[in-house]
Amino acid sequence: MTISKDELKQARRFELADPSTLDGLDEWALWLEALLHGPCFIFFRDGEPILIEGKQLVERLSGLKLEIYPNEHPPPHFHVRAPGLNASFAIEDCRLLQGKASSDVLDKVRYWHQHSKHKLIEAWNATRPTDCQVGPCCDA
């Protein structure tokens, strides 16, 4: 399935556009901006550039990293990582989906979620151009 340039622009994933289809300086500028600041990096294998989508850091919180991984499965969720900690939480209600976390970590993450859920929604949607978008039920 091919995604149009307009759909990629709307989904804020223009780095995925095929450079051979870019028209005009404006589209080239938009594409380069997306490459430089999007949740991806370029890896060279045998001289060929390969676009790799990386995890998107949403926030650092008292030694915790709150991240969204690209092309993940539903339900919409985020990961909390720190030394000795790898847990995932639902974006909708911040319930613990996988892993274990101390009550101190749970309290910090839930408090942050109450005030910053919109950041998770934006990051989740930015890593999915067409499927599994977080909808109105999860808006902050």
User: 51-79 as b/e, with b when 16 or more CB fall inside 10 Å?
Assistant: eebebbebbebeebebbbbeebeeebbbb
pLDDT at residue 138, as a whole number: 45
Q: Are 32 and 97 in a shared domain?
A: no
- Considering the domain architecture, whether residues 25 and 14 belong to the same structural domain is answered as yes
Judge if 66 and 125 occupy the same domain.
yes
Q: Which of 18, 34, 53 is the last residue of a domain?
A: 53
Q: Are 49 and 60 in the same domain?
A: no
Cβ contact 68:127 at 8 Å: yes
Closest residue by Cα to residue 77 from 91, 64, 66? 91
- The Cα–Cα gap between 79 and 28 comes to 33
The reply to whether 48 and 66 lie within a common domain is no
Give the pLDDT score at 13: 76
Q: Is the pTM of this model over 0.85?
A: no
Q: Are residues 34 and 102 in the same domain?
A: no
Residues 71, 49 share a domain: no
72 and 107: one domain?
Answer: yes
Walk along the chain (140 residues) and give the pLDDT tens digit of each residue.
Answer: 578 888 888 777 788 888 899 999 999 999 888 877 666 667 688 888 777 666 778 899 999 999 988 777 888 999 999 999 999 999 999 999 999 999 999 999 999 999 999 999 988 887 765 556 675 444 43
Place of tokens 């067409």: 130
Residue 92, classed as helix, strand or coil, is coil
Examine the domain organization and report whether 128 and 75 are in the same domain. Answer: yes
Domains identified in the chain, total number = 2
Residues 62 and 45 in one domain: no
114/97 same-domain check: yes
Are residue 60 and residue 123 in the same domain, yes or no? yes
CB 67 within 8 A of CB 50: no
By residue range, what is the domain housing residue 89?
A: 56-138
